[in-house]
A and B are shown apart, each in its own frame.
Chain A
Amino acid sequence: MNSKILFYASLVFLAAGSAQAERPAREEAPPRASTQEIRGRVVWQGPVPAPERVEVKAKPGQGPDSIQGCGHEKESPELRVDPSGGVENVVVWVEGDGLVPPAQGTVLLDQKACEFLPHVLAVRAGDRIAIRNSDQVVHSVRVFQEGKPSYLMNQWQKVKARDLYWNAETPGRYVARCGVHLWMHAWIVVLPPAFSAISDASGEFRLLNSLPPGKHRLHFWHEKAGEWEQAIEVAKDVTDLGAVRFPKHVLQSQQKGNP
C-alpha cells in the first residue's frame, strides 16, 4: 500500500515539475495596466484634397460575376482627409526596451464589398491575422512584404470559405492584396513590442499605454507619407499633443498630382 502511495506521489511530483519546467518559455512579464493616454490629431496642412475615386471593373479575363456586390465606384483608402483636415489611417506607436503591451492574439482582416476592412492594421509580432471573406465573390488573398515583389502568402478564398490565417512573425510592413480585384489592398504594420493606435476618420488617435513618465519618441507611419517621429514628454495620466502635422513632402506631391 505504502509503495503504491509513493509511486503515485512521485508521478504527481514529476508531472508538476515538468509543467513548471515548461512555464518560463511561455511566460512574459505581466503587462502593466494601460491607464495612461497619449492623444492627438493628425492634420493636413493647406487645402484639403478631394478623395480619389476608384472605378470598379472586372480584371481582364474575368466576367461581371467576379465583381458582383463590389459596387461601381469606391473612394480610395490611400489618403483620406476629412473636411476639417484630419488624416485617417496613420499608425502611431511608442516602442522601447522593456515595453510589454498586451498581446492582441488574433486580429480580423475582413473582405466586405471588395474592400479590406480595416484598411490599416497595427499588430504586434507574434499576432495572427484571420482573413475573412464576407463577400459573395471569390477572392485571392496575397500578402507581400513592403518593397518585395514576391508574395509570402497566396490563397484562394471562396464564398463562405473558412478564414485564412497569416502569422505576423517579423516586424515590418506588409501589403495584403486580392489577385481578382486589383484595387483591393490593406496594410498590416507589424510592430515590435510597442503601444500603438491608428488615427480615426477625424484624424484623432488615443494611445493607451503604461509608459513611465518622461521623454519618449512617438513614431508615425502613413502609406503616402512613410515614417516620421516626434519627441514627446509623457505625463502621468494624459498627454495631449494637439495637432500633429502631416509631413510636407506628401502635400507637395499631392498638389503636383503625382501618384
Chain B
Amino acid sequence: MKKWIAGLMMVVSLSAGCATMGSSRKTFEVTLEVDFGPASKPAVSRVFQVQGGATPKTVTALAFPVEQGAVCCDPREVSVIDGVAADPATNRWWTVSINGSKKVSPYKTKLKPGDVVRWEYRQYEQ
C-alpha cells in the first residue's frame, strides 16, 4: 500500500514538473516602452514575443544593449540602456514599471501575457 502511494506521488510530482516546464516554454506578447527623457533620444514602443520566465530586464535586452550594475541595491539591476547610463552626479535614473506599478524588480519579476513594461529615464531635482 505504501509503495503504491509513493509511486502515485512520484507520478504527480513529475507531471507537475512537466507542466511547469511546459508553461515556461510558452511564448506570449509583452509591450516594451522606453522613454529616454533628458537623454534626448526618441521614445520606443515595441511588442515582443517572450518565453515564460522573461523579466523586464530580459525583454529590454531584446531591444537594446543593456548593462547591469548596483545602482540602488543589487548588482543585477539595470544601469545602462542603449548607452544611456544612470548618472548619480546629475540625479538621472532609470525607473521601471509593469502596467503602471512600480513595485517590481527588473530582474526578478516574471512577465505575464499582455504586460506593458515601461522604462523611464528621469532627472530628479537636487
Binding site for B on A (CB under 8 A): 52, 54-55, 60-61, 76, 78, 142, 144, 146-151, 154, 175, 177, 179, 182-185, 223, 259
Contact = CB atoms under 8 A, between A and B. Distances in A.
Contacts of B89: 144, 146-147, 175, 223
B6 interface: no
Nearest to B79: A149
Contact of B125 (A76, A146, A150): A76
Contacts of A61: 102-103
Contact of B126 (A144, A148, A182): A182
Chain A at the B interface: SS class: loop
A179 B72 contact: yes
Contact of A54 (B80, B87, B103, B125): B125
Interface of B is mostly: loop
15 contacts: A52-B125, A60-B102, A144-B89, A146-B89, A147-B87, A149-B80, A149-B86, A150-B69, A150-B70, A150-B75, A150-B79, A154-B72, A182-B124, A183-B126, A185-B88
Give the size category of B's interface with A: 20 to 34
Nearest to B94: A149
B97 to A, nearest CB: 11
Contacts of A154: 70, 72-73
B126 to A, nearest CB: 5
A149 B125 contact: no
A57 to B, nearest CB: 9
Interface string B90-119: 110000000000110000000000000000
Given A76-B126, A154-B73, A182-B124, A149 B88 contact: yes
Contacts of B71: 149-151
Residue with the greatest number of chain B CB neighbours at <10 A, chosen from A61, A154, A179? A154
Nearest to A176: B88
A179 B74 CA distance: 13
B38 interface: yes
Nearest to A146: B89
Nearest to B88: A144
